[in-house]
Amino acid sequence: MTDTPSTDLPPLPEFDLFAFTPYRLAVAAKRTSDELARQYRDRFGITIPEWRVMVHLAHSGKVSVRDIEARVAMEKYEVSRAAKRLREAGLIERRENPEDRRLVILALTPEGHALMARILPMARAHQAQIEERLGPAFAQLEAGLAKLLAETD
């Protein structure tokens, strides 16, 4: 037993990673978005950050990077790079804001609009499937998440 360095040391406190809320949330988040990410990538060629930007543009019209950053839980450099890729893919367009030339105006192109018309129903279906699979636990999850998100805001 002398070859195991821990043997003679005081025992460590018990700690169950599987009961650790940050871990549980990380695993849950990864599981739920991975399948989605794969679909978005394979079928539409976009990533999750790009998807978030697109969704925001879909219902907010023309906005700046700052608006998206504030609303969509992304750092502004993420928004900036997602927007760059989306622009190169022809899904959004970018103009200067004439009233404040530091700002940028992002908006869906017709191609981007068409893409969202295809993706959004899929996303709704995905959400419905989650709710169905969780059953009554869905409402509990929602209540818990609502409190957590409010507390950490």
Partner DNA sequence: GGAACATCATTGCAGGTGCAATGGCTATTT
Partner DNA sequence: AAATAGCCATTGCACCTGCAATGATGTTCC
Instruction: Give me the least distance between CB of 45 and its own copies, in Å please.
Output: 19
Decide which of its own copies, DNA, none touches 133; Cβ closer than 5 to 8 Å per partner kind: its own copies
Residue 149 C-beta: closest distance to its own copies, Å: 6
Query: How far apart are alpha carbons 87 and 83 in whole angstroms?
Result: 6
Candidates 1, 22, 88, 99; binder of its own copies (CB under 8 A) is 22
Residue 10 within binding range of its own copies, rule CB under 8 A: yes
The one of its own copies, DNA, none whose footprint includes residue 124, by CB under 5 to 8 A per kind, is: its own copies
Q: Residues 77-116 vs its own copies: string with x where CB under 8 A?
A: ----------------x-------------xxxx--xx-x
Which tokens hold the place of 141?
């999850």
